[in-house]
Amino acid sequence: MALIRDIADRYVEQAARLDPVGATSAGLTGFDHLMTDLSPDGFAARAALDRATLAELEQAVAADGEQVARQAMIERLTVSGQLYESGATTSELNVIASWPQSVRQIFDLMPLDDAQDHSNLAARMAAVPAAYAALRSTYSDAAAQGRVTSRRQVAQCARQCADWTAAGADFYAGLVDRAGPTGAARAELDRAATAASAATAELGQFLQAELLPLASHRDAVGRERYALASRAFLGAEIDLDEAYAWGWAEVIRIEQEMRRVAAKIVPKFGGVYPLARRYTAPHAAFTTLLMSTGLTFGTITSLYGLQSGIIDQTQFSLLISVVVLSAIIPTAIAQRFYQPHAVAAETASSATEAGL
């Protein structure tokens, strides 16, 4: 019977072959020239691997020290399977962590130092058109089953594709420039970059023209989908109602604190700004913030002034000294002369001397 570590090693090897983009992200070498299959069949193959591995884990014997690894793998693979079965995996589209971003961002992790790196880069860029064509097919199948993300996400992802391929700011062309190849290698990379850029723009057009009209105006996904996504993100099940209540309580607390701080700052700001505008233009706002805030805001404002060229390093040092002293000196005076227990002690002593 297989041990947990053997199952885990085999899973990593097979998962890397089925998802070369994920392999590069995880730091595994030997896959940088390949691209993940984003077709419905590709997603199905990865889900099948998860199911098969999960079945092995449930039958495996955990040696000493392997029980935690077994439980962790079972939890992760179970959630992955549930996401796939729910349709979330094949319809996932958002502006931060979905396949359009994963394909684009994987190139940020690839080395660009030598001829082999350039060859890997060219091969992977040349595979972008097929990957995005497959992804369009996957999204179309999901949409046919009524699974499309919200309009805001679709529209912004389409805009990202346009930004990545904009004239004069094309990501793939800039990547080739940074790699700095020459001769035949440069020509090969230029061709691959052109193809990748065109495929990215085409994906954006697909999202805008075909997927956006099918997308919902609602951002909410429903309690069941949210609960599954929460578990996938956290690695644990939480009480959603309790978390929701706590979140709103925190929002209210923070807003109250903001109002309390604003109540202190606004009167000072109103008193200082007219004078600052008259005597320190064009930096009246900077001067007002510096003079009407306490230690934290005073430090931040001073740093802003330094970085913006309003003040120099010497002036910055002097301002920081003044800001710090303005907090320390009043505190020291209050501690020395105005502590409640000191006043009470003086009162008691005076009463004793007076014979009261």
According to the 3-state scheme, what is the secondary structure of 60-88? CECCCCCHHHHHHHHHHHHHHHHHHHHCH
For the stretch 127-148, pLDDT in tens is 999 999 999 999 999 999 999 9
Helix 115-126 × helix 171-179 angle, to 10°: 170
Of 25-29, 101-105, 315-319, 327-331, the poorest mean pLDDT is in 327-331
Instruction: Give which of 284, 321, 326, 322 is closest to 305, Cα–Cα.
Output: 284
Q: Is 114 helix (H, G, I), strand (E, B) or coil?
A: coil
Asked if residue 3 has pLDDT above 80, the reply is yes
For 1-4, the CB contacts below 8 A with 24+ separation are 1/59, 1/60, 1/61, 2/56, 2/60, 3/60, 3/61, 3/62, 3/63, 3/66, 4/57, 4/60, 4/62, 4/63, 4/66, 4/69, 4/70, 4/73
Q: Which pLDDT belongs to residue 356?
A: 46
Question: Which distant-in-sequence residues (6+ apart) come within 8 Å of 198 by Cβ?
Answer: 129, 165
Average pLDDT of the residues in 334-348: 50
Q: Which pLDDT belongs to residue 320?
A: 81
For the entire predicted model, the pTM comes to: 0.73
Token output for 324: 């710090």
Asked if residue 285 has pLDDT above 90, the reply is no
Instruction: Evaluate whether 210 touches 142 at the Cβ level (below 8 Å).
Output: no
Q: Which pLDDT belongs to residue 244?
A: 92
Instruction: Evaluate whether 283 touches 298 at the Cβ level (below 8 Å).
Output: no
The one-letter code for the residue type at 22 is G
For the stretch 41-77, pLDDT in tens is 999 999 999 999 999 998 888 888 889 999 999 999 9
190: exposed, middle or buried (C-beta count within 10 Å: 0-12, 13-18, 19+)?
middle
Q: How confident is the model at residue 234 (pLDDT cuts 50, 70, 90)?
A: very high
The CB density around residue 15, as the number of other CB atoms within 10 Å, is 17
Domain coordinates in residue numbering, the chain: 4-234, 251-353
Q: Chain-wide mean pLDDT for the chain?
A: 87
Q: Which pLDDT belongs to residue 337?
A: 57
Average pLDDT of the residues in 26-44: 97
